[in-house]
């Protein structure tokens, strides 16, 4: 090996060919050795050349040659409202996740609302939920009339902290709504045990967790119901779309009825007269949505494997950089969905460089990234919902005391996580290992030059 300074990628390549055998023989972890590589590059944010000039896999993916024909067939048939293609999609999704039944819905938000309403969750009830989620999870609870009660987040897994659930249970608690956020499974074994002990319902927000598993059982199949989203950014993108899965036939028949105005299970689109049996709504998936979904489903298995492989590799490459704390998976996780790849950023190890400045520096290197969610337990919608007529009628005044609610719903670990999280999107995990090396190299470069970047802040 010559004496010139190797870039990380060159170093890893070199090691993977010749030196790696020796390193392994010496019992030295290759990723630690790789971290010793000297990258002499000036950070792009300080005027140097960016590490990555090529883009990332484009999302959503669409294969003209095989995906368009079935969608065109639906369009040309003129049958666009719910019919056979939606039923086919439901069968496939139920099979894929290992549930008895699936009902396709317009989106994930309404899947959550429908599932909760049909499990009898409503005004006067409390639902335990993590604050580290997309707003739709909490909005869905409020739409049923129930009150969200926030359970703090475990910053290592980014999931609901199951050890803090029981302390939040009151006589009003009706359900737990765990969210497998970022596509990483919440600990459903522990959560189901708590639910059983306290006789609580469980609705899983698996809107980001397609094919994720604990002990080879898919997320969405542990609780009374599991809800999915197929919105455009999701790992199965339909534009908009959602689904409820469950093994409970009676519940699923009720969900069907609810999603079709309240007309009985099996009622079809376009029926003008039916023995309407409940005050339902209309949240049916269309045929062309289902046709797109069926096309997307053909890629999901292979893409999930690639995301898992690349996420594991990237994790191994960045975990020894001081100040970078990648996600931890619960012990029993056999597969994750990796809708996002998360880590925590500790600015103390980066010469005090703020997370925002770190994100900007990473972006400048050609590595798109985000700081993720902000605390949902502190936003104006909560105060405003308490002023609505329905909430005023459904709850005693002391439960609508906003300051008291805020006090009871503090989540300090989540506040800190929201200040420290960094995310990469799932499409970035669909490329080559060398793409992951680019990410790792960029982080290392920023780490090495953190004080210089900070001085220019």
In the complex, the residues that contact ligand PLP under the rule CB under 6 A are: 107-109, 133-134, 136-137, 179, 181, 205, 207-208, 229, 231, 242
The contacts of residue 10 (CB under 8 Å, 6+ apart) are 37
Among the options 174, 218, 234, 347, which is catalytic?
Answer: 234
Q: CB of residue 60 vs ligand PLP: minimum separation in angstroms?
A: 14
At closest approach, how far in Å is the CB of 174 from ligand PLP? Answer: 19
> For residues 109 and 221, which CB has a smaller minimum distance to ligand PLP in the complex?
109
Q: How far is the CB of 295 from ligand PLP (least distance, A)?
A: 18
Give least dist CB 65 to ligand PLP, A: 28
For ligand PLP, the closer CB: 181 or 311: 181
Two structure tokens written together for 153: 């987040």
Kind of pairing between the strands at 217-218 and 213-214: antiparallel
Nearer to ligand PLP, 175 or 441 (CB): 175
Catalytic, 190? Answer no
Helix (H, G, I), strand (E, B) or coil at 234: coil
- Look at the alpha carbons of 446, 449, 452, 455 in this order and tell me if their dihedral is positive or negative: positive
CA-atom Rg of the chain in angstroms: 24
For residue 206, count other CB atoms closer than 10 A to its CB.
32
The DSSP code sequence of 178-205 is: -B-GGGPPP-HHHHHHHHHHHT-EEEEE
Torsions phi, psi of 149, nearest 5?
-120, 120
What is the distance in angstroms between the CA of the first residue and the CA of the last residue of the chain? 38
In whole angstroms, how close is the CB of 235 to ligand PLP at the nearest point? 11
Question: For residues 228 and 251, which CB has a smaller minimum distance to ligand PLP in the complex?
Answer: 228
Q: Decide if 330 contacts 185 (C-beta within 8 A).
A: yes
- Between residues 133 and 263, which has the closer beta carbon with respect to ligand PLP? 133
- Exposed / middle / buried, residue 287 (Cβ in 10 Å: 0-12, 13-18, 19+): buried
Least distance CB 242 / ligand PLP (angstroms): 5
Reported for 29-33, long-range contacts at CB under 8 A and 24+ positions apart, including other chains, are 31/316, 31/317, 31/319, 31/320, 32/320
Residue with smaller CB distance to ligand PLP, 41 or 131: 131
- Which helix (H) or strand (E) is 287 found in, with range? helix 287-318
In the bound state, the residue with its beta carbon closest to ligand PLP is 108
The CB-side HSE value for 297 (13 A sphere, CA atoms) comes to 18
For ligand PLP, give the closer residue by CB, 28 or 379.
Answer: 379
With tokens 């970035």, the residue in question is 428
Whichever of 157 and 231 has its CB closer to ligand PLP, that residue is 231
In whole angstroms, give the CA distance from residue 44 to residue 70. 45
CB of 62 to ligand PLP, least distance (A): 19
- Shortest CB 110 distance to ligand PLP, Å: 7
d(CA 248, CA 241): 22
Distance CA 324, CA 443 (A): 9
Question: Residue 453: CB partners within 8 Å, gap ≥ 6?
Answer: 43, 45, 46, 353, 357, 361, 446
Q: Which positions are catalytic? A: 234
């Amino acid at each position: 090996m010559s004496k010139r300074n190797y870039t990380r990628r060159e170093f890893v390549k070199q090691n993977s060919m010749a030196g790696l055998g020796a390193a392994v023989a010496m019992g030295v972890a290759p990723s630690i050795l790789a971290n010793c590589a000297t990258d002499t590059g000036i950070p792009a944010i300080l005027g140097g050349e960016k590490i990555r000039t090529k883009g990332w896999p484009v999302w959503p993916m669409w294969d003209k040659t095989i995906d368009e024909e079935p969608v065109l067939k639906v369009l040309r048939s003129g049958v666009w409202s719910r019919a056979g293609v939606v039923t086919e999609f439901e069968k496939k999704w139920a099979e894929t996740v290992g549930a008895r039944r699936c009902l396709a819905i317009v989106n994930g938000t309404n899947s959550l609302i429908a599932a909760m309403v049909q499990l009898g969750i409503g005004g006067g009830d409390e639902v335990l939920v993590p604050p580290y989620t997309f707003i739709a999870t909490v909005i869905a609870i409020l739409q049923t009339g129930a009150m969200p009660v926030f359970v703090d987040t475990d910053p290592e897994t980014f999931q609901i902290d199951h050890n803090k659930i029981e302390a939040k249970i009151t006589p009003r608690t009706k359900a737990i709504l765990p969210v497998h956020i970022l596509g990483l499974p919440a600990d459903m074994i522990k959560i189901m045990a708590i639910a059983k002990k306290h006789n609580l319902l469980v609705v899983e927000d698996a809107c980001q967790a397609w094919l994720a598993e604990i002990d080879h059982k898919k997320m969405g199949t542990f609780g009374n119901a599991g809800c999915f989203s197929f919105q455009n950014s999701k790992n199965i993108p339909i534009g908009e779309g959602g689904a409820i899965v469950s093994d409970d036939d009676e519940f699923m028949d009720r969900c069907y009825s609810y999603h079709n105005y309240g007309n009985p299970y099996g009622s079809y689109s376009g029926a003008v007269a039916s023995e309407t049996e409940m005050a339902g709504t209309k949240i049916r998936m269309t045929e062309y949505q289902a046709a797109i979904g069926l096309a997307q489903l053909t890629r999901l298995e292979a893409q999930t494997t690639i995301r898992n492989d690349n996420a594991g590799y990237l994790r191994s490459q960045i975990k020894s950089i001081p100040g970078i704390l990648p996600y931890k998976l619960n012990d029993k996780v056999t597969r994750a969905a990796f809708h996002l790849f998360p880590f925590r950023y500790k600015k103390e190890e980066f010469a005090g460089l703020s997370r925002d400045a770190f994100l900007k520096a990473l972006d400048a290197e050609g590595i798109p990234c985000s700081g993720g969610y902000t605390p949902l337990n502190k936003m104006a919608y909560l105060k405003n919902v308490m002023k609505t007529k329905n909430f005023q009628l459904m709850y005693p005044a002391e439960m609508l005391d906003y300051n008291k609610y805020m006090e009871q719903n503090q989540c300090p670990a989540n506040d800190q996580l929201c200040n420290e999280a960094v995310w990469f999107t799932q499409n970035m995990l669909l490329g080559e290992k060398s793409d992951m090396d680019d990410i790792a190299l960029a982080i290392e470069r920023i780490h090495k030059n953190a004080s210089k970047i900070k001085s220019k802040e």
